[in-house]
Structure 1
Amino acid sequence: MKIAVVSEQASGERRVAATPETARKFIALGAEVAVEAGAGAGAAIADSDYAAAGAALGDRAATLAGAEIVLAVQPPAADSLVGVAPGAWVVAIMAPFGDGRGRVEAYAAAGYEALAMDLMPRITRAQSMDVLSSQSNLAGYKAVIDAAAEYGRAFPMMMTAAGTVSAARVFVMGVGVAGLQAIATARRLGAQVSATDVRSATKEQILSLGAKPVFVEAVAGIEGEGSGGYAGEMSPEYQKAQAELVSAHIAKQDIVITTALIPGRAAPRLVSDAQLATMRPGSVLVDLAVEQGGNVEGAVAGEIVERHGVRIIGHRNTASRLAADSAALYSRNLYNFLSTFWDKEQGRPVLDAEIGDAVRLTRGGAVVNARLLS
């Protein structure tokens, strides 16, 4: 069983799908690991470290030749996998909906079995394989650090002989993995933190981190709990009530971090231009959903823009901005996934139906994932 680890081709992608640690573990399972030279450079991993772990280094052609599993962060183009035979697995964060559907069909046409790590079911036994959680955790942390870099004031309250500096007020919208880490990080920096979510179950989580929950109370019977722990879509009545609540709260905030995503759909709009205009000049807003359409009106993917005196941060691929750590966590997710199903007799992983059917996009020349066929 040859496992190939390729260099990332996407602009700005600095992560890598295996580290020397996981390469060594795959070899211990009995696999051969080949790494494209320079694949780990963006994550500060030298080729010599892979070689010391027992991996073979080479150019892309040599790395892919005869590979039965190809590991990547972002999905490589099907026509770039020269030397990989039909039936091989391609494992990556596939983003198979919307614009990614064409790439999935190309994998099917080439005969590859594409496995989407971002469709990993959120069940207890798959927690160690959950790439969305591992990468969102770092993105939530980095969002606060990025906000602090753009914010022209201190985060904690400081009492000095010259007077008192007030603590920054941070509002987190969307309390998933990224939101919870953003709350925790802002609290560690000394900010006054509040947070909101459409899922009432998150209120206790917000309180447990020492932040203030901001929730719609007037609209009863709407919990906002979608499948797999994600938020679902809200009724028009709830959306109106939430907009009114947020408008009153957001005008008093120094920093707002938005993290709301609904799988397979455009990001919900949480902050309008009119709401931005109520914030004081010098405030900062970080939109972690900018690549999926954005939670914030006026946010631009890959740019920091200013509207009404408010700086809106729209960095792409936030997790990749912490490449060494995000690559380490992502590569462990991949190892945990493949090693869990490793069959010693066959010398390869054999997926079960519960997880296999959830992550498998293509097989036998066809698109087979139920979510893509519905």
Structure 2
Amino acid sequence: MTAVRAAVEILKREGVVNAFGVPGAAINPFYKALKEGGGIDHTLARHVEGASHMAEGYTRANPGNIGVCIGTSGPAGTDMITGLYSAIGDSIPILCITGQAPTHLLHKEDFQAVDIATIAKPVTKMAVTVLEAAQVPGVFQQAFHLMRSGRPGPVLIDLPIDVQQTEIEFDPETYEPLPVYKPTASRAQIEKAIRFLVESERPLIVAGGGIINADASDLLVEFAELTSTPVVPTLMGWGTIPDDHELNAGMVGQQTGHRYGNATFLESDFVLGIGNRWANRHTGYALDVYTEGRKFVHVDIEPTQIGKIFAPDYGIASDAKAALELFVEVAKELKAEGKLPDRSEWVASHLERKETLQRRTHFDNIPMKPQRVYEEM
């Protein structure tokens, strides 16, 4: 079969059922294979950048599946860069597939023969122009492995038109996805982290987008309830705990914060960050203010993320779900043994701030202020 037909068969066996894109001369062999292969619905975008955002939105709405966007050579790939940057910043796996000029015309300033792999490298986990047709199955297999392993993120595969049309030997019936790798916390690591929490008086949990990516929101809420620890969701972690839950302490930060969230954070003496990256919209630029007077434990799937912004008192490289399963297990044991401290006063103080430090919305001014409009809505 052609290399692109093999690629389509791999997409189906990796769970892809939807794709978004815009056809064009250099990617039309792939589109032909997509049509002949069946099993994957295609949504025609009006712009290739839009297709990349559609793929990202699809992945966000369908955890475990991966959005795919497709475009022709040259401007299609460069248009996707914004979508790739968005996806890697938020740890969202999407697969971008671009067409390319024939291999013998690369680096000769041929029509739309841009070196998209080099352009996309800083905003992807892998960006590659496939020069040998026989490598196409392996490259697609590696792409799905990388997108799903460790910290999720996007991949771009660039396919010269002659590579797409070359026939190769490939048996789709025996294809198997590569095992996904995710680091897992040990029991000893979780026990040490919980000791920080137990020894503190005013602890907080900072819940990041890694919890959503790991489908571990229920575990987070269970752990917070077991230990009576208020939770600060980051912007990417919004939704990990319901807004009306008594342990939701509000958001913190210079753009995304609540008054009561910032006030409660400044009262804390210990912070357990799970699946977050200490983004500056959350911490602000004055890290001394953010860190002074409190200890930090950081749990993240990406080992190099720990200590990247500031050095925590303890760090654990782990998938959020694997870590939270152990956090819940250890917390249940400590509660049964009566070793979890009473946090009722701390929770009550956070609830008081939540009730009293609301943004002002009631204005009688004329002309009418925008805040009044939202209050009435």
Q: TM-score, normalised by structure 1?
A: 0.31
**Looking at CA atoms only, which structure, 1 or 2, has the larger radius of gyration?**
2
Q: TM-score, normalised by structure 2?
A: 0.31
Structure with more of its chain in helix, by fraction:
2
